[in-house]
Structure 1
Amino acid sequence: MALNSLRVGYVLKRYPRFSETFIVNEILAHERAGLSLAIFALGPVMESHFQPDIGAVKAPVIRMTDKQRNVEQFWNLVNEGMKALPNFAARLEEEREQNVHELAQAIGLALEVRQRQLQHLHAHFGTQAATVARLAAKFSEVSWSFTAHAKDIYYRYETDIQLARKIREASHVVTVSDYNLAWLCERYGGDRRKVSRLYNGLDLRQFPWLSPHRRPAHILGVGRLVAKKGFRVLIAALARLQAKAIPFRCTLIGDGSEREALEAAVIAGELQEKVTFTGILPRQEVAAIIQESAMVVAPCVISEDGDRDGLPTVLVEAMALGTPVISTQVAGIPELVINGQTGLCVTPGSDSELAEAMAMLLSGQDLREKLARQARKTIVRDYDADRNSGRLREIFTLKQK
């Protein structure tokens, strides 16, 4: 099928979300290539901050009713399905155990698919979005796929999210690291012929490289302030640097449930003069701070509930911009941060190793330059949004043949 005749629906739990820049990057790359898209948001917007690139997206956003609060409205939706969707009664009977809210969204989405003449649905994350996309594709007789990221793979949910079933029934599954790919195939029976690794990409024109050779002793952490990001380990490592009288300052950009605990740890470590919390900042401002820093540190850990980062976008952005990175051996991170080649990669949870790595980069300008140059080559080769979204469009198109 020719690209100019393919019409795809993107199914997302919420849109837009401040932290999900990788989805916006992907959508914009599709639109640059001429793909016709519609975006379906299953839940209300919950944030007050948005990245400016949202304004460049041309695709219409259809906001689905998130909860069923009226029995009559639900039955009207079912009746519409009976009239418009093929073999709907039998297919609905097969899915009668589904959550009523997600079932209703799937019926509504299937009706939109038929009305808008969409040929394929793609969901991000294997949770609610994939549930609704699977059902809607079944009801409307179109193909569907989804991208699995991190929490949807590793978090121990109270109820089964039926990931194995979704992998089995999807036309194709994409995930963002080789580590994830192996996990999905080994734990959930994924068929390697229909599960692909595709790294999240950047529009590299927006991330010009700048040498890190002469920069102040500034350590930067960027991300949601939650357990899996490992910022408690970073603060403990900073205390080690201070004890050795190594000059530095540190900025933490982001917000989240751990902020109060992290601020308390800074006070307990007598680091108030060295560590600054900024809260959430626009992407352009974050990029400017990244290029003014000696390093970006992402001390990721596996949290108690099993959640972990798949491959943090901030590492990709920092490496594209020319800032050396330090991270940990969690999930797919070592695929990107190859220790001693594209960055420094330490044991998760080890504040002593992290402190040693930070000290190396603070004192080693030549090392910073070497790591940053090799990192940029890796980003250009593997993380270009236009190239990677092209592979995704090939997957969408192949499912129509």
Structure 2
Amino acid sequence: MPSESPRVGYVLKRYPRFSETFIVNEILAHERAGLCLAIFALGPVMEAYFQPDIGTVKAPVTRLPEKQRSAEHFWAVVKKGMAALPDYARRLEEEQGHSVHDLAQGTEIALAVRELGLRHLHAHFATQAATVARLAAKFSGISWTFTAHAKDIYYRYETDIQLPRKLQDASHAITVSDYNLAWLCEHYGGDRQKVSRLYNGLDLRQFPWLSPFKRPAKILAVGRLVAKKGFRVLIEALAHLQARNIPFHCELVGDGPEREALQAAVVAAGLQARVSFSGLLPRQEVATMIQQSAMLVAPCVISEDGDRDGLPTILVEAMALGTPVISTRVAGIPELVVDEQTGLCVAANSVGELAAAMAKLLDSADLREKLARQARKLIVRDYDVDLNTLKMREIFNAGQK
């Protein structure tokens, strides 16, 4: 890494996480550009499977204790802060409304900031990671930013995550769709001069385009098996296709708390011969499956607790690879899946519309080809991770004190 490169710390709740490939894509793009990074993980790894790209990240990872198990440990951290961080006592007193766990983690990262010579902190998600990054930046006297994604904007948390305060205190905030940007400004007082939309990007060299013209009647769905993904709606729509004697096979890739309920729904609909569950799979294997499918379907919905997808990365990946997509008019998805132009975009929770869209793509190879070609052009224009992280680094540099 060039010695003159700015040094940035990434604050993440957990690292790595199987589903958060967009964070790894971003980190690797920064490193390709010569940015020297340090990663701070606030909680233990909770998964047994990892994407292979994790192994190419050069940044060192510091794993902080998730909880303060004793008063002695907490006060030892505070004592170090008093000795090494200017004006720490006053700043700590101003933040006494936070838990000892957040205060300790914020202090430990602030100490690391001074030890490593970091100039800026960036957090992903506006919840715990942003809370701790904000404290660490305040205690160490450097700037900080965060990226807000989806659940951290829309989910109704029992405890206030103080999103307006974070938007005010950060040197800048980033979010992943124009829909999110408008929501943050209208509902949380975000300043459009301090909030930017940057789409989650891909290293397009890893996603070569392949024509979908000659594909088997295979429908692919990929994601965590949770309510907001809308897979229950998908199963109902597949039953409509079966009732119309339309040949297809659907594969669901992923795992989550709804797996048993979804499998039961498949049995209840008599779809056992038409639908299979693959569980978690490596990213490259999923990419191969995408290019062997007639379409990728992401039937996203808004769940009862308000949670929703901001803009699923799997849609970006499928469109880059040449597979036409079907999704729903939820959050920022229509910015990516422009109906009849870069994919088919239907109403959320509409079984009939979803079934009709799938039947339409199964019936027309010409339409699949047209949508796939136009989708790839959009991805190249707006979702190149190297171009988008260049803008991020400009934001980091502008905020540095």
Take 1:3 and 1:221, find their aligned partners in 2: how far apart are those partners? 44
| Structure 1 segments (4+ residues) deviating >2 Å | 2-5
Letter in 1 for 2:170: A
Q: Is the 8 A contact 1:329 1:345 kept in 2?
A: yes
Q: Is the 8 A contact 1:221 1:253 kept in 2?
A: yes
Take 1:289 and 1:86, find their aligned partners in 2: how far apart are those partners? 54
Task: Give the CA deviation at 1:5.
Answer: 3.1
1:388-399 alignment runs, 5 A limit? 388-399=388-399
Take 1:5 and 1:273, find their aligned partners in 2: how far apart are those partners? 56
Aligned residue in 2 for 1:292: 292
Q: Is the 8 A contact 1:3 1:35 kept in 2?
A: no
Letter in 2 for 1:343: G
Aligned residue in 2 for 1:122: 122
1:91-102 alignment runs, 5 A limit? 91-102=91-102
Letter in 2 for 1:85: L
Aligned residue in 2 for 1:315: 315
Aligned residue in 1 for 2:11: 11
Aligned residue in 1 for 2:384: 384
Take 1:365 and 1:128, find their aligned partners in 2: how far apart are those partners? 46
Gaps of at least 5 residues in structure 2 are: none
1:105-116 alignment runs, 5 A limit? 105-116=105-116
Take 1:217 and 1:73, find their aligned partners in 2: how far apart are those partners? 59
Take 1:287 and 1:71, find their aligned partners in 2: how far apart are those partners? 49
RMSD between aligned residues: 0.9
Letter in 1 for 2:345: C
Q: What does the per-residue CA deviation read over 1:135-181, in whole Å, with 9 as the maximum and x for residues that have no partner?
A: 00000000000000000000000010000100000000000000000
Aligned residue in 2 for 1:261: 261
Take 2:398 and 2:256, find their aligned partners in 1: how far apart are those partners? 41
1:52 has 2:22 as partner: no
Instruction: Provide the secondary structure at the position in 1 that maps to 2:29.
Output: helix
Instruction: Provide the secondary structure at the position in 2 that maps to 1:14.
Output: coil
Take 2:147 and 2:133, find their aligned partners in 1: how far apart are those partners? 12
Aligned residue in 2 for 1:214: 214
Take 1:81 and 1:330, find their aligned partners in 2: how far apart are those partners? 45
Q: What does the per-residue CA deviation read over 1:242-293, in whole Å, with 9 as the maximum and x for residues that have no partner?
A: 0000000000000000000000000000000000000000000000000000
Letter in 1 for 2:257: S
Letter in 1 for 2:299: P
Letter in 1 for 2:394: E
Aligned residue in 1 for 2:154: 154
Take 1:192 and 1:154, find their aligned partners in 2: how far apart are those partners? 19
Letter in 2 for 1:235: I
Take 2:228 and 2:4, find their aligned partners in 1: how far apart are those partners? 41
Take 2:317 and 2:102, find their aligned partners in 1: how far apart are those partners? 35
Aligned residue in 2 for 1:89: 89
Q: Is the 8 A contact 1:4 1:35 kept in 2?
A: no
Gaps of at least 5 residues in structure 1 are: none
Q: What does the per-residue CA deviation read over 1:293-337, in whole Å, with 9 as the maximum and x for residues that have no partner?
A: 000000000000000000000000000000000000000000000
TM-score w.r.t. length of structure 2:
0.99
Aligned residue in 1 for 2:345: 345
Deviates more, 1:74-83 or 1:124-133: 74-83
Take 1:386 and 1:380, find their aligned partners in 2: how far apart are those partners? 11
Query: Could you say if the C-alpha distance between residues 3 and 351 of structure 1 is closer, same or farther in structure 2, counting changes exceeding 3 Å?
Result: farther
Q: Once the two structures are aligned, what percentage of the paired residues are identical? A: 75
Instruction: Provide the secondary structure at the position in 2 that maps to 1:43.
Output: coil
Q: Is the 8 A contact 1:109 1:136 kept in 2?
A: yes
1:69 has 2:69 as partner: yes
Q: Is the 8 A contact 1:184 1:190 kept in 2?
A: yes
Take 1:269 and 1:335, find their aligned partners in 2: how far apart are those partners? 33
Aligned residue in 2 for 1:23: 23
1:143 has 2:140 as partner: no
Aligned residue in 2 for 1:306: 306
Aligned residue in 2 for 1:329: 329
Instruction: Provide the secondary structure at the position in 2 that maps to 1:212.
Output: coil
Q: What does the per-residue CA deviation read over 1:322-354, in whole Å, with 9 as the maximum and x for residues that have no partner?
A: 000000000000000000000000000001000
Letter in 1 for 2:55: G
Instruction: Provide the secondary structure at the position in 2 that maps to 1:144.
Output: strand
Instruction: Provide the secondary structure at the position in 2 that maps to 1:326.
Output: strand
Q: Is the 8 A contact 2:113 2:140 kept in 1?
A: yes
Take 2:368 and 2:71, find their aligned partners in 1: how far apart are those partners? 62
Aligned residue in 2 for 1:357: 357
Query: Could you say if the C-alpha distance between residues 324 and 129 of structure 1 is closer, same or farther in structure 2, counting changes exceeding 3 Å?
Result: same
Deviates more, 1:154-163 or 1:4-13: 4-13
Q: What does the per-residue CA deviation read over 1:175-220, in whole Å, with 9 as the maximum and x for residues that have no partner?
A: 0000000000000000000100000000000000000001000000
Q: Is the 8 A contact 2:5 2:34 kept in 1?
A: no
Instruction: Provide the secondary structure at the position in 2 that maps to 1:185.
Output: helix
Q: What does the per-residue CA deviation read over 1:24-71, in whole Å, with 9 as the maximum and x for residues that have no partner?
A: 000000000000100000000000010000000000000011100011
Task: Give the CA deviation at 1:3.
Answer: 9.0
Aligned residue in 2 for 1:189: 189
Take 2:99 and 2:190, find their aligned partners in 1: how far apart are those partners? 25
Task: Give the CA deviation at 1:4.
Answer: 3.2
TM-score w.r.t. length of structure 1:
0.99
Aligned residue in 1 for 2:39: 39
Instruction: Provide the secondary structure at the position in 2 that maps to 1:342.
Output: coil
